[in-house]
Amino acid sequence: EEDLREKVFAAVKDYYQYKFTNKTFIPGQTYIPASGKVFDEQELVHLVDASLDFWLTTGRYAAEFEQRFAEWMGVKHCLLVNSGSSANLVALSALTSPKLGDKQLKPGDEVITVAAGFPTTVNPIFQNQL
């Protein structure tokens, strides 16, 4: 199995070289993706590696990232979420935790946010009845 996996990875590396490197930019003709995706050969290999285990959401790479990021931040735990919107909700929910004692956000507390932003920036504040 490991030999076959390595053959797949070699093919992925070849594909990356063929598809994404040494492309000449031609003004007015070369497609530029709106999302500005930036990735390298190893990221494509990791993507395929995770999919071969059929981890299409989180898995060993997410667990490793959470653990290493927590160490880097100097905290006990780190938890990945699926989007910035979910991160806002998790952050506000954490700030309303009774475990924070007097520092806990409570209904009526002032929360300062951007005047014009994505609705999911403000919705967690209302959801937590602040």
CB proximity list for 30: less than 8 A, separation 6 or greater: 23, 24
pTM for the model stands at: 0.62
What separation, in Å, do the N-terminal and C-terminal C-alpha atoms of the chain show?
54
CB 92 within 8 A of CB 127: yes
Residue 123: the pLDDT is 86
CB 16 within 8 A of CB 47: no
Kind plus residue range of the DSSP H or E element containing 71: helix 60-73
Residue 27: the pLDDT is 92
Residue 38: the pLDDT is 80
Residue 32: the pLDDT is 80
Residues of the chain short of pLDDT 50, as ranges, are: none
CB proximity list for 51: less than 8 A, separation 6 or greater: none
HSE of 59 in the Cβ direction (CA atoms, 13 Å)? 12
From CA 5, how far away is CA 11, in angstroms rounded?
A: 10
Residue 130: the pLDDT is 53
